[in-house]
Structure 1
Amino acid sequence: MQTRYTSADQWAEAKDGVIPAPYALEEGEQIIDQYLEPVIFHNVNGPDIGVTTCGVIVKDGLYFKDLDNSGELAPYKDWRLSPEQRAEDMVRHLRLDQQAGLVLNTLFNTPVVPTRAEATNAEGKLELGKIYKHHNPGEKPMPGPLPGMTVSIDDSHVLEKHIAAGVYRGDMRCEAGMVALYHNAGTQMLEYEACKGGVAIPYSLHTNPINIGYPDSLGIGAAVIGDGNTDMVYEMAQTDRKMMKAEGLNIMYGPQVDVTSDPRWPRTSGTYGERPDVTSDIAEALVKGYQDGDNGLNEGSVVLTIKHFPGDAPSENGFEPHVPIGQWRIYRTPGSMEKYHLPPFQRAFDHKVSSIMPDYSRIATDGRAVPQTYRGEVTSTEEVPSAYSKELITDLARNKMGFDGYVNSDSGITTVQIYGVENLTEPERYAKAISAGTDVIGGNTDPENIVKAVEDGLLPKADLDRASYNRLLSLFRTKRVDNPYLDPDKADQARVDNFDGAKKKAYEANQKAVVLVKNHEKLLPLAKSQKVCIVTFKGVDSGFAQMAQAMGAGLGNTDEDAALRKTLTEAFEKKGYTVVATPEEADVLYLHVWPISNGLVFNQYAMPVIEMGEIVTDERERNKSQKKTGNKVTVVTLKDVEKIKELADAIHARGGKVVGTCVVCNPWLLDKLEPYCDALTIQYTVSAVALNNALNAQVDVISGDFAPTGKLSLTMVSDPAVIAITEQEIDGVVREICASPNDVPGYDKDQYIDPAILANVKGGSYAYCDADGNYYRSGFGLNY
């Protein structure tokens, strides 16, 4: 590698002309042979210019990045022009294969090693192959969780396929500085396009939301309802934004602003609950916090890709659309899309959110559903996933609701979630999605299909140009084109300053997320002189952790019962309680109950259930369809559930008391727990980074060290009858119809349920009614 210079200082007095790139490859070398330290040129009244293999144009005493090494100051290189002007001009300079790569992103991107020390050789130099995985032609690609997906992401995807973005999957396991180096390495490879007749495009890293110690989403919803404002949400977003920007996590695949409506739906845990107004308020705060204001993108912004437009929660009886078994959204209720599911998106659009992700599922238009309207006009008539629907993406989101950003599909829509487009070829699917208004196809690594679609006349070049423009516009608006390179030291420091600095506020947020739903005879706050026996119950960790791991949620999975008991023991002992080993020694039995849904995303074999215990149910054609196989399967959402009653009866017989905590990721039927508890709290947080905070916060409320303010973000279900399934023949086909509509949130379901059903349910409502007569409807929560 020829190193011409390592500092811009020698060019401080450069006259108009071109400064050569700091690095040039020698014969036989490749850009992946070593990591190049970028050289930064400082404009006094303009942006920094960061280069490795691009030259620098000097004009009128100003520096400009020579993005194609032509020596000409084209409009797209001129930072004095508007982002719109630059993006429009850059599109005209991109090769077709570069455009195809620009509108894709890879799905599983993580540094080879987690620390800079491990990436540094004996000579003290960073090894690029330990930052960004090198392509090994003889290595068999590792398949992803679904057909057509791969987790084997390497430099060939950047160098050969020109894919300019990937989804980071390392959570907090990698040093921030290492993530910044990974981002720089991707940018270094893409910048080399300027030496090969192309244009240098900065590399972008997406990430799913990463918990930084705050409550999980349902807990955020609970805290916000209790607070009556979203100040905490805005502060959290600002903190996270600063860390993300420093380490190169430029785009968030989130927030998930779906409004929960079917209680069995596995993605409920990623929502903020079932209240459209609450989710809308949170969406607004997140846009302002992550995008650094509500006037669109700027240099300080993280791009938000809110999902899943127009709301994925009305799933057919809880099945999830990553696979064909869950492909349908069922709107049985007139106006439900506009009333319940679109408001959070509208609020985000009003505050100029920069990106949206359409959902995988498709709207049923047969007799199971009624047409949905927006301001009096039908929203969709085509039974295809939303990323393929011009009616939803262009007509509804852009033209009617005012969305002005880019549309990023969920991952795999041309290979897996091809519902209704099965008969199209892959190039035809790309053409249909992009022409519908989708700008970025997530998780796909086959740009050749886009090239073929254009060359064969399937995809109008103007539609690809629009998609490229929308993608580039976000890069120019966030000022990432002129100097996309990051300082890994600053990234590490940003994590220290923000993550560590926010620990107190994150803990306070966890306290606010605790919901006290039962306090019989004012048992709480619990006197600290009591002897407490801790017993934990958990489900079979089969699917929830799998989903969270795949989505990058950082869920603490595997066998963590011992760690759970240890944390709880220490929390109670710190308060002054005596923790005893057996219930017979105790004054108070503390039950920590953690049910786990069978709502698998990548392995769906039965309808999701929300009863606690070992539930026998019908087996379905795994992943393929809801057709029953004729076999029965046993779903274990909670092991040893019968022991709850046994333990409670025994300690009550001796005059003792029972305090329970239920972990809620779906609105569980509580009939196997609540009747046996004198006091009951709700815990919404399970992410590994925040779990200890959540557990200690429960004990704070139990002990009286924090007076509870949290309110339920979900309505807890009263009885199996209100979600019971009956078979009905509709349009000549036998369908499974739920007793309560899939598209209506729990707090509002009663009006749509047969009164004869409610008449036989305790409390006469969809909402759970406890032994003290309280209804566990969203918004409910006790204080002392």
Structure 2
Amino acid sequence: MQQIPLETRHKEIINVDGLEFKDLNNNGKLDPYEDWRLTAEERAQDLVQQMNLDEKVGMMLINSLLSGKGHPEWASEDGVLTGEIEDAPIFKHIPDTKKLITDYHMRHFIARDLLPISDQVEWVNALQAQAEASRLGIPVIIASNSRNEVNGDTYIDGDPAADSWSLYPGTLGISAAQKGDLAKGADYELIENFADNSRQEWWHAGLRKGYMYMIDTVTDPRWQRIQQTFGEDPLFISEITGRLIDGFQGQSLNEWGIALTMKHFPGGGARENGFDPHYKEGKWNIYRTANSLEDYHLPAFKVAAQHNVSSMMPYYSAPSIEKSHYQSYEGDVIPFEEVGFAFNEYLLNDILRDKMGFTGYINSDTGIVDNMDWGVESLSKPGKFAKAINAGTNIIAGNTDVASLKAAVEKGYVPIQRIDQSNQVLLEEMFKLGIFDSHTYVDEQAARDFVNNNADRQEAAYQAHLKSVTLLKDQQVLPVKNQKVYIEAFHKEADKADKYTDKARKAGQALDFDLSYDYSQADVAVLFLRPVSGDYFTSTPGLLELEICENKENIALNGDSYRETTITNLDRYFAIADKVHQNGGKVITVINITLPWILGNVEAVSDVLIAGYDTWEKAILEVVKGDFTAQGKLPLTLPKNAKVIGVDEDFKCISRNDVPGYAKDNYLREGMSYAYQDSQDNVYELNFGL
């Protein structure tokens, strides 16, 4: 038996049979949970028996955590951890970090700061040192949402973390790039390299649990979270799901892997006209179409189960009985219970575990006890904890209320066997990852060396940006060479438009474009549109706006009138296009696809129309210049107009919200079609791209 490397900062290392082990409970002898020669299952069984109830309930909560490195205003004395935070944006109150570990006995945390890897490592090691000093020396495990994609305006000003993390286009862009490769006869190497490169960066940063990826199938075009999905193609999503799991976790979870939490079971795409369950207007999942749940929404989750994903996250929403056609799975009718999916015993146990064969643990979404408690609002806090745990959920997110969870056990709402089962599976993950042994602490020098050797990973990410660029229309304009080019960007927020304009012009300079700063003197105008509509934390007054518009009058659900803007200074965009055309020039419009925008008014004035997906401006301009040939393919269908997503007097959408865009024509009125068709007869449907 070969000795594994061990490091401690508070506890002793003992020698048994010529080998070294951590004496995590300070009893001077080797306990089974300290013995790295045993299986994860054996070690977890021993540790669960040694834990008291306070330690067990602390293990079953996971909460957001900020770092002193990222928030010096809240930093503790060491400058690395944080003290008590009373009013953090979004996260509100967060107790003192040391108290969470020592007094609350919590061991699962969600890293919310986007730090350079070197700062991330220092923070993780400080957390681990605090945890090691506890009675049983149980380490922490740090989770995070995905970090290797450009997401919205995160990098509008640049960010020091951009030098550490390889940054791919948004997940829709990764799909567009991968679909482009497949169309050219290539395989899934892009997604496999993405997973492996990202895994290495996470591992060196000490982030060992990923709250990712969103494998929801997009079916409702107004759902605000479409930007973070892989699109509307359930078979394609299933293919990449397995490869993501294998790339991050390995064929089986091991010390070099990152444990993934796939979400949001059983699929968040079947919205009621776009409204999201972060607020009550969006609490329902609606299944109007026979078999839509099994055919479109569940396939990727079955693949995730087959590839032994470490955990799954149910969505906040609840299935509506009244508004849905009955659904079945593998021939058995699903008895819908109108409670959020983390409370939904049949879906979690009968379908996910029994039929799909899922053997991991269930991690609730953030806030199911205090805020998004759909269907169980009348229950007490201990009652909500009990409902979720008895239904099959193993860890509750967005919560530090150890007292209410403990009360649920002491009142008899939750049998202790359920608590022990959850602790068992949660601890097994940590043992498999090596967090108790060789990988408690992160080697800071190795992390720095790794960051400094990132050229290959950065290049792979940039190639994905290039490949994501999707050419929707080209009236024999590309490539643009030896012409004066005017560049400007537009956004919902004017100050952000200015910043994006500056970024795009700098990219144009780097590519040696002959830039004009007066559009009336330009041969070609390249106009970047970055529309924004709503956000998924708050409900819009009416239906989410998908048209490219400014100050458009809409009608709210209560009948009131209100105005909506997705692009500010839209009149200027049209004025530039008009002037350039008057002078015999050409207009290239670049639309950032975060939602399936309705593009009729934009396409009409564009000689070239390009889709990006939080794609770097430089990559798009390389395509414009002809240095790279566009190959991206649409990961979702763009609707023809507002009429095809209209809502009737019964609040039912004319095109079914539980089926993908490519299948919506099957349910539209005779003579109607869903996908946008441009002036060149190009149809902007799934997999299209010139």
Shorter-chain TM-score: what band? over 0.9
- The higher radius of gyration belongs to 1
SS in 1 for 2:273: helix
Q: CA deviation at 1:573?
A: 3.7
**Number of the residue aligned with 2:160:** none
Whether 2:33 is the aligned partner of 1:76: answer yes
Whether 2:256 is the aligned partner of 1:315: answer no
Amino acid aligned to 2:561: K
**Number of the residue aligned with 1:650:** 579
CA contact (8 A) 2:220 2:270 kept: yes
The Cα offsets for residues 371-397 of structure 1, whole Å up to 9 and x where unpaired, read as 221111123410111111111111111
Q: CA deviation at 1:677?
A: 0.7
CA contact (8 A) 2:181 2:631 kept: yes
Counterpart-to-counterpart distance in 1, 2:360 and 2:423: 12
Counterpart-to-counterpart distance in 1, 2:504 and 2:635: 24
Amino acid aligned to 1:697: A
From 83, 86, 95, give the equivalent of 1:141: 86
From 142, 157, 174, give the equivalent of 1:205: 142
CA contact (8 A) 1:598 1:635 kept: no
* TM-score, normalization by structure 1: 0.82
**Number of the residue aligned with 1:392:** 347
Q: CA deviation at 1:151?
A: 4.5
Moved more, 47-56 or 631-640: 47-56
Q: CA deviation at 1:202?
A: 0.8
The Cα offsets for residues 124-168 of structure 1, whole Å up to 9 and x where unpaired, read as xxx963111234xxxx7115537xx53555321111111112111
* Distance change (3 Å), C-alpha of 1:587 and 1:178: closer
Amino acid aligned to 2:689: G
**Number of the residue aligned with 2:171:** 217
Amino acid aligned to 1:348: A
Whether 2:665 is the aligned partner of 1:750: answer yes
Stretches of structure 2 lacking an aligned partner (at least 5 in a row): 149-165
Counterpart-to-counterpart distance in 2, 1:416 and 1:134: 25
**Number of the residue aligned with 2:630:** 708
Counterpart-to-counterpart distance in 1, 2:225 and 2:89: 20
Whether 2:424 is the aligned partner of 1:469: answer yes
Counterpart-to-counterpart distance in 1, 2:520 and 2:491: 22
Counterpart-to-counterpart distance in 1, 2:94 and 2:665: 45
Counterpart-to-counterpart distance in 2, 1:151 and 1:640: 40
SS in 1 for 2:447: helix
From 78, 95, 100, give the equivalent of 1:157: 100
Q: CA deviation at 1:646?
A: 3.6
**Number of the residue aligned with 1:103:** 60
From 599, 609, 629, give the equivalent of 2:545: 609
Counterpart-to-counterpart distance in 2, 1:153 and 1:369: 45
In the TM superposition, what are the counterparts of 1:403-552 in structure 2 within 5 Å?
A: 403-483=358-438, 484-498=440-454, 500-520=455-475, 522-526=476-480, 528-540=481-493
Amino acid aligned to 1:208: N
Moved more, 412-421 or 319-328: 319-328
Counterpart-to-counterpart distance in 1, 2:572 and 2:601: 10
Amino acid aligned to 2:174: I
**Number of the residue aligned with 1:131:** 80
Q: CA deviation at 1:482?
A: 2.2
* Distance change (3 Å), C-alpha of 1:575 and 1:56: closer
* TM-score, normalization by structure 2: 0.93
Q: CA deviation at 1:566?
A: 2.5
CA contact (8 A) 1:233 1:282 kept: yes
SS in 1 for 2:639: coil
CA contact (8 A) 2:66 2:82 kept: no
The Cα offsets for residues 481-531 of structure 1, whole Å up to 9 and x where unpaired, read as 124122222222222324x431211111100000000012x21122x1111
Q: CA deviation at 1:778?
A: 1.1
Counterpart-to-counterpart distance in 1, 2:4 and 2:412: 40
Counterpart-to-counterpart distance in 2, 1:719 and 1:751: 17
Q: CA deviation at 1:603?
A: 5.4
Amino acid aligned to 1:305: T
The Cα offsets for residues 569-604 of structure 1, whole Å up to 9 and x where unpaired, read as 233344443211222211112221111112342454
**Number of the residue aligned with 1:771:** 679
Moved more, 275-284 or 212-221: 275-284
Paired-residue identity, %: 35
Counterpart-to-counterpart distance in 1, 2:78 and 2:538: 31
CA contact (8 A) 1:644 1:676 kept: no
Counterpart-to-counterpart distance in 2, 1:511 and 1:52: 46
Whether 2:11 is the aligned partner of 1:54: answer yes
Whether 2:230 is the aligned partner of 1:267: answer no
From 97, 122, 125, give the equivalent of 1:184: 125
Whether 2:264 is the aligned partner of 1:298: answer no
**Number of the residue aligned with 1:33:** none
**Number of the residue aligned with 1:234:** 192
The Cα offsets for residues 337-395 of structure 1, whole Å up to 9 and x where unpaired, read as 111111111122221111111101111111x2112211111234101111111111111
Counterpart-to-counterpart distance in 2, 1:262 and 1:88: 44
CA contact (8 A) 2:489 2:504 kept: no
How many residues end up aligned between the 2 structures?
A: 666
**Number of the residue aligned with 1:122:** none
**Number of the residue aligned with 1:336:** 292
Amino acid aligned to 1:150: H
The Cα offsets for residues 540-581 of structure 1, whole Å up to 9 and x where unpaired, read as 48xxxxxxxxxxxxxxxxx33333223322333444432112
SS in 1 for 2:486: strand
**Number of the residue aligned with 1:254:** 212
Counterpart-to-counterpart distance in 1, 2:580 and 2:29: 83
Amino acid aligned to 1:653: Q
From 613, 617, 620, give the equivalent of 1:684: 613
**Number of the residue aligned with 2:530:** 594
